[in-house]
Structure 1
Amino acid sequence: MRTKREHLNAGRRILYLWFPNIALDRLRRITRGRDAEKLSSNAMVIVRTEYGRRTIVATCPISEKLGIAVGWSLSDALALHSKLLVAEIDLLTDKMELTTLANWCGRYTPFVAFDESRKEIGERGLWLDITGCAHLFGGEKKLLDSIIDRLCHIGLTARGVIADTPGAAWALAHFGGLSSQIIKPGAQQAAIADLPLIGLRLPISLVEDLSKVGLRQIKSLFPIARAPLRARFGLEVRRRLDQALGLEAEPISAQISHSPDLVRFVLADPISTMGSILAVLECLLERLMKKLEIRSLGTRELKVSLYRIDGQLDKLIVSTSQDSRDKSIFSKLFFEKFDDFILVSGVDVITLEATKVDIYQPLQSDLISQSDCINSEISVLVDRLVNRFGSSSVIRRSLKESYSPERSETAFPVSSNLHYTKIAQSMSSSFKNTLTVRPLYLLQRPEYIEPLTEYNRSLPFQFRWRHALVNVRRANGPERIASEWWLVEDYYKTRDYFRIEDSDGRRYWLFKERMKQSKKKPSWYLHGLFS
């Protein structure tokens, strides 16, 4: 029978990555090449301003050799070394950089979480749940060496530890003294025994209270009974100790949620040409469609992630209006997406994920009606337009019941379900009596015109529109249109519409607007064009 510890940590492996100088590393990358000689010889520090006092929160190795320590005031450090390079801490930029690193670490595992325990002092960390993932990279040692080497290549100082529990991995990364370390399953108690109590992520005040009674190392807590320890120092000490030893579960919330319908391709060498990427994508599409077919699913959205060797991540998303498992449709959409894509550096891992899936019911080709064929052709066209120009740029217009012309239609982005036949039928029935008297083009809003002379029926003989003089040859009307009675703002307005033809054969749709029970002279507006 398994013990409680064995049950909680059966097969679980956690990798913790600690970035002790993430702000200093960013400063080095920003000034790389431009001030390389200056950076190599001068000391650097990161400071934080609080209540007018600038305190050092991070130091480089050169600063430490000079005797400058974290917690000093900047004035004391400058008195010791006047040529000190100083930068202000930027927690927001650190957070953005850590988010980028978390996305990039998705090449190793989909479960990546932030460590927010000590973010105020300019250091950051990531937890990676690599349970069941290490064999894909040749084992835990090769996986850890690969991560550390790649992070060093892009200019980041990192320490990595693999252990059974997040608490043990955190303690060893901060206080173990090694850049990379792997703790064998079940050996976390011996590994963290000689570490200081701060390695249990306890508050500083609590660590000071424990040191007053002679408890300075983690191993000093092992023989102490729970009840006296809890009575004097509270529940936090025992809880953190149990989490580090694996006696109490410590869940990790993934930063990014991934769909279970995901396929991955790990390349032996980086690729940097579009032809190679599209060839890998074809292979991934075939694997993913087979995976969806086994579960009787279809997808409407696919996301491809390109993990670059410079620590960045590129994502491309294509979507369709209907569920599909046709590899050729998605292949064409991705091909059009990659036409405008610029690859900055090589790619060594590519993943393809179905982010929107649903039950898929394929249609039999012999039983498809003509309307279904029309819907299928339109959906393919819409998919290509949406993926090229964006969903907000491809709109569909629909009739709306209203007396007012500007309210008689509505425009909205193309939805996921296209019912072209129903739309066409409703539009044809509504257009039977309106196509002959309504313009083909309606202005977004009516534009004021200046009538110069008028007929006896108060029709303009000449009018000026957009600084151009228009001579009227014939006119037809009026057609009185009033808004709905519940529209209070337009209740007292009436419009008389006229169809006007000028001397060049152009036809306009004008209206004369007046207020009910008002003696003011009516105003003329142009609302649409027939041709």
Structure 2
Amino acid sequence: MTRVVSIYLPNLPTDRIRRADPSIPAEQAIAVIAKSGSKRWVSAVDDTAKKAGVHVGMQAAKAQALFRGLTMIDADPAADAAALERITFWALTQYSPIVAVDGHDGLVMDTEGADHLQGGEEPMLARIANQFRAKGLTARVAIADTWGAANACARAITREIVIVPRGETVKAVEKLPLSLLRVPDKTVGDLRTLGFKTIGELANTPRAPLTLRFGPEVGRRLDQMFGRMPEPIDPIRTDELIEVSRSFAEPIGAAETINKYVGRLVVELVDELQRRGLGVRRTDLLVEKVDGTLQAIRAGTAKPARDVAWLTKLFKDRTEKIEPGFGIEKLTLVAVMSEPLNEAQKSSSLVEEEVIDLTPLIDIYGNRGQRVYRVAPVASDVPERSVQRIGAASDPVEATWVTHWRRPVRLLARPEQIDVMALMPDHPPVWILWRGKRRKVKNADGPERIFGEWWERNSEMAAVRDYFVVEADAGERLWIFRSGDGVDPETGNHRWFMHGIFA
């Protein structure tokens, strides 16, 4: 059973303004002002303005009088809508084959086909929230069994991440206000006049009187929220996307038939890619069924590709996941990410040099949900900053690692504090206590002093670390350091840390 993720962007207008003008200080309060005739009111505010008491709906003159330093910018709904569409298209390339705009302030995605986000729902949502934050976008992310429930929880609960356990939709939404049911404002006002306050109260009311007075919309939204009626997500599409499709007069369902038509679609897609001089990096197969539901499979490649045999194999290896149900009426193949790809010139030599290409192996692991990458050097003396992750098939980087000092084969994700007995300032420890085990130091080499990068962080102006290579009584060779020079407290707190392990 698939799950639905709702990504709510409460500060989209102000976030868009800040992204368009990075010179605006982070502490500067912003309010977006909407106009209708002579009336001017606040239509959006950032967190700083909210803390000062400015809120949506407030008259612009009152907001300006309340907070003199407030920056007031005219609303631009068209620019906000365009920004939301760009964000949604970016999410389509990053997260799932099924992503769509959700109202004027969010997006929705089906977790179907998002195999690359494996590792559990909480890490998946945390990754999404972190990536939006890194792009300067405030986001609240919720996952639930239905679109309606995820949408409501993302907007009602102020936590950055909300997880509604499977089968607990009723418990999660029954106390939420009617405004989150996604029905017209007038309908919400009329329902409140009748005495309804929460979604649960409305859901427990006989359906016939509601339908007679408000039509079928209220009942439809309730059924969609509680999963009694499907609500398919129509994925976002742009003119730049290359896609080919095949509709069937008679629904198909056999695995052999599906594979046959997938192969034909790959040929059509590759022909169009070749005509445009492009290679595909990420391709989605959308399966539309006769019952209105949509299933998707995503295949990615480490490098731009338009090899028919290889792309066909990537999809055939995963078509067993397709559940045809009552039958499939349409197959669509979409090149979600494509890059320029020139034809490779064949060598004219009599003897071809053997070139080992690991790209197919990288693709296989990547499409099984594994994150495949290489590590590359970064020009930094600080050990944890001297490594970066790059794509497994990326071109070599120009920087090289410093080799005149020994470095461990394994660097811990972050230095771990240890207890030691050592004579300061320059002597290595006599023994260390790490992860509950005490080790006696037999041999040691050092110190190697590493200075802080003051040009990156003011706090590292005087910071130093003294590193030692120590050999424990059991034969382990460890890389440890003392924070500070052992004399001046401004250089560090003089605590000891484990940072790496030698072979």
TM normalised by structure 1 equals 0.48
Counterpart residue number, 1:316? 297
Instruction: State how far apart, in whole Å, the 2-side matches of 1:68 and 1:504 are.
Output: 78
1:498 to 451, 459, 468: 468
CA distance in 2, matches of 1:431, 1:263: 50
Indicate whether 1:445 and 2:414 are aligned: yes
Hey, what does 1:396 align to over in structure 2?
374
2:256 counterpart letter in structure 1: G
* Equivalent residue runs for 1:123-272 within 5 Å: 256-257=237-238, 261-272=242-253
Report the counterpart of residue 367 of structure 2 in structure 1: 387
Selected match of 2:388 from 407, 410, 422: 410
Question: CA RMSD for the aligned pairs?
Answer: 4.3
1:74-106 CA-partner distances (Å, limit 9, x unpaired):
xxxxxxxxxxxx959559859x98972756xxx
Relative to structure 1, is the Cα distance of residues 312 and 259 closer, same or farther in structure 2, using a 3 angstrom cutoff?
farther
CA distance in 2, matches of 1:263, 1:513: 59
Shift of 1:339: 4.9
Shift of 1:442: 0.9
Which amino acid in 2 is paired with 1:522?
H
Secondary structure, counterpart of 2:344 in structure 1 = coil
3-state SS of 2:264 partner: helix
Q: Would you say the 8 A contact 2:295–2:322 is kept in 1?
A: no
1:345–1:507 Cα change, 3 Å: farther
Describe the superposition over 1:25-58 as per-residue Cα deviations: whole angstroms up to 9, x where unpaired: x9xxxxxxxxxxxxxxxxxxx995526323999x
- In structure 2, what is the Cα distance between the partners aligned to 1:320 and 1:482? 41
SS at match of 1:50: helix
**Partner residue in 1 for 2:342:** 361
Residue 463 of structure 1 corresponds to which residue in structure 2? 432
Partner of 1:477 in structure 2?
Answer: 446
Is residue 49–residue 55 contact of structure 1 (8 Å, CA) maintained in 2?
A: no
SS of alignment partner, residue 267 of structure 1: strand
Q: 1:278 aligns with which of 248, 259, 265?
A: 259
Give the residue type in structure 1 aligned to 2:360.
Answer: V
Task: Note the alpha carbon deviations across 1:379-427, whole angstroms, 9 max, x for none.
Answer: 333333332226xx33332211122112212235x28x721xx33xx46
2:313 match: secondary structure: helix
TM-score norm. by structure 2 comes to 0.51
CA distance in 2, matches of 1:521, 1:264: 64
Check 1:455–1:289 CA distance in 2 against 1; reply closer, same or farther (3 A cut): closer
Q: Is the 8 A contact 2:442 2:471 kept in 1?
A: yes
Alignment correspondent of 1:518: 489
Cα distance per residue 1:455-485 (max 9 Å; x no partner):
9963222221000111111111111111123
CA–CA separation in structure 2 for the residues paired with 1:101 and 1:522? 56
The runs of 5 or more residues in structure 2 that have no matched partner are 1-147, 149-182, 197-201
Structure 2 distance, partners of 1:68, 1:409, is: 62
Is residue 386–residue 394 contact of structure 1 (8 Å, CA) maintained in 2? yes
Matches of 2:315 and 2:246, distance apart in 1: 17
- Counterpart code for 2:248: L
SS at match of 2:257: helix
User: Do the aligned partners of 2:285 and 2:334 also contact (CA within 8 Å) in 1?
Assistant: yes
Shift of 1:332: 2.1
- Counterparts of 1:337 and 1:266, CA distance in 2: 21
Instruction: Count the aligned residue pairs.
Output: 304
Report SS of the residue matched to 1:349. strand
Match of 2:401, SS state, is helix
Tell whether 2:501 aligns with 1:529.
Answer: yes
Is the contact made by 1:455 and 1:461 (CA closer than 8 Å) also made in structure 2?
no
1:311-345 superposed Cα distances (whole Å, 9 cap, x missing partner): 11112222323332211121122133335555544
**Identity over aligned pairs, percent:** 24
Instruction: Provide, for residues 110-129 of structure 1, a one-character-per-residue CA deviation record: whole Å limited to 9, x for no partner.
Output: xxxxxxxxxxxxxxxxxxxx
Closer/same/farther in 2, CA of residues 482 and 293 from structure 1, 3 Å limit: closer
Q: CA separation of 1:431/1:311 partners in 2, compared to 1, >3 Å: closer, same or farther?
A: same
